[in-house]
């Protein structure tokens, strides 16, 4: 993160629609990941990154680092113990901390083809609302579940990312906020990689494309559009969540796609047919305030 804000927007590095089309015709090594030509002729400075996916992908990195550190901590504690005395104390504490936020969470070891443990771990995947809640509430619970020598820095990484994400999702960011944004994100990246010699998952190789976008490209979209919140894809994600719920709970699995379309069609046709709630008026105040209370009290006495 040694370059200034304009570096990746310079004519030498800036990618255009024509560059994408030309790259798609070249070999895989020379294509810069442009596998096919764009179907729509939209210049890249009009392609806005989705703030929700940015949150999801960066949170995946942060959560994965927590899980790996807890597992490594347990492994180091179990090193001199008998196999029958091995414990998962720190991983259990991490899971309990996540669940105390009101979010279910579990970690499991992946199996090889022979059914034995692979040494690779996976964990419960969460949607946007759950990850937003974790980002806000989990850092305050790090004390005791992360190694003491790294706890404060990891907590700071989470808290500063929460502040940055609030700036990204602000509908009307101030001029001062947009000016400070690039500096805050570069500071966050430097804080992130400062842990590279102390914990796994914080090396320069762990800087993802979404982190790069957060630092160098979102400030340019702030200059162009003042905010990127209006371009959010959360509406589409909501439809995906509804479709997933239908497949898991309301489909016989023989024709899941058809079940989704039919249910959405019924909802669309019946959206104006909902029964309006009848307004209830208490006509006999004496009954509701006195007689009903006495009747319930008498019934309770008879049952006892």
pLDDT confidence of residue 26: 85
Name the band, by pLDDT with cuts 50, 70 and 90, for residue 210. very high
pLDDT for residue 146 is more than 80: yes
Note the helical H segments in 194-282. 209-216, 218-225, 234-249, 256-270
pLDDT for residue 2 is more than 80: no
pLDDT for residue 191 is more than 80: yes
Sequence-distant (6+) residues with CB within 8 A of 5 are: 182, 216, 219, 220
- CA 185 centroid distance within chain: 18
Domain definitions of the chain by residue range: 17-46, 51-225, 243-268
pLDDT confidence of residue 215: 92
Average pLDDT over residues 112-128: 80
Q: What is the pTM of this model?
A: 0.75
Q: Who wins on pLDDT, 168 or 292?
A: 168
pLDDT confidence of residue 54: 93
Sequence-distant (6+) residues with CB within 8 A of 152 are: none
CA atoms within 13 A on the CB side of 82: 2
Q: Which residue is associated with the tokens 């009009």?
A: 46
Average pLDDT over residues 178-183: 90
Cα–Cα separations (whole angstroms), residue 134 to 127, 139, 209, 217, 242: 11, 8, 22, 26, 22
pLDDT for residue 212 is more than 90: yes
* CB distance 241 to 128 below 8 Å: no
Average pLDDT over residues 190-208: 92
pLDDT confidence of residue 64: 92
* CB distance 215 to 189 below 8 Å: yes
Residues 252/253/259/264 CA torsion (nearest 10 deg): 100
Q: What percent of the chain has pLDDT over 90?
A: 25
pLDDT tens track for 265-296: 888 888 888 778 888 777 788 888 888 888 88
Three-class secondary structure of residue 122 per DSSP: strand
Minimal CA–CA distance to 88: which of 100, 72, 110, 105?
72
Element (H, E) at 136: helix 128-137
Q: Who wins on pLDDT, 135 or 275?
A: 135
pLDDT confidence of residue 189: 95
Name the band, by pLDDT with cuts 50, 70 and 90, for residue 161. very high
Task: Provide Rg for the chain, Cα atoms.
Answer: 27
pLDDT confidence of residue 178: 86
Q: What is the mean pLDDT of the chain?
A: 86
Range in 40-44, 54-58, 178-182, 271-275 the model is least confident about: 271-275
Structure tokens at 294: 């006495």
Name the band, by pLDDT with cuts 50, 70 and 90, for residue 200. confident
Sequence-distant (6+) residues with CB within 8 A of 114 are: none
Name the band, by pLDDT with cuts 50, 70 and 90, for residue 298. confident
Average pLDDT over residues 76-100: 84
Residues in the chain, how many? 304
Name the band, by pLDDT with cuts 50, 70 and 90, for residue 155. very high
Q: Give the largest CA-CA distance in the chain.
A: 88
Name the band, by pLDDT with cuts 50, 70 and 90, for residue 207. very high
CA atoms within 13 A on the CB side of 236: 7
* CB distance 206 to 58 below 8 Å: no
* CB distance 222 to 178 below 8 Å: yes
């Amino acid at each position: 993160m040694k370059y200034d804000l304009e570096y990746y927007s310079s004519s030498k590095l800036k990618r255009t629609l024509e560059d994408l089309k030309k790259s798609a015709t070249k070999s895989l090594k020379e294509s810069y990941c442009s596998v096919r030509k764009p179907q729509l002729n939209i210049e890249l400075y009009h392609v806005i990154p989705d703030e929700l996916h940015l949150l999801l992908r960066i949170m995946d990195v942060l959560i994965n680092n927590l899980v790996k550190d807890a597992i490594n901590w347990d492994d180091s504690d179990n090193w001199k113990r008998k196999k029958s005395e091995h414990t998962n104390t720190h991983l259990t504490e991490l899971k309990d901390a996540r669940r105390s936020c009101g979010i279910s969470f579990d970690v499991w070891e992946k199996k090889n083809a022979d059914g034995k443990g692979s040494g690779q771990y996976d964990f419960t995947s969460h949607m946007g609302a759950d990850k937003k809640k974790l980002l806000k509430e989990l850092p305050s619970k790090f004390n005791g579940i992360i190694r003491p020598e790294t706890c404060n820095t990891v907590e700071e990484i989470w808290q500063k990312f929460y502040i940055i994400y609030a700036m990204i999702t602000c509908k009307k960011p101030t001029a001062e906020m947009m000016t400070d944004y690039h500096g805050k994100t570069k500071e966050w990246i430097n804080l992130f990689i400062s842990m590279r010699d102390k914990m796994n998952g914080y090396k320069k190789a762990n800087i993802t494309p979404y982190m790069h976008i957060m630092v160098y490209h979102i400030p340019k979209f702030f200059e162009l559009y003042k905010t990127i919140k209006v371009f959010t894809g959360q509406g589409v994600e909501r439809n995906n969540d509804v479709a997933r719920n239908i497949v898991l709970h309301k489909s016989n699995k023989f024709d899941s796609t058809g079940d989704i379309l039919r249910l959405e069609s019924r909802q669309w046709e019946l959206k104006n047919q909902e029964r309006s709630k009848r307004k209830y008026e208490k006509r006999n105040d004496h009954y509701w305030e006195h007689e009903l209370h006495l009747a319930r009290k008498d019934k309770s006495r008879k049952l006892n």
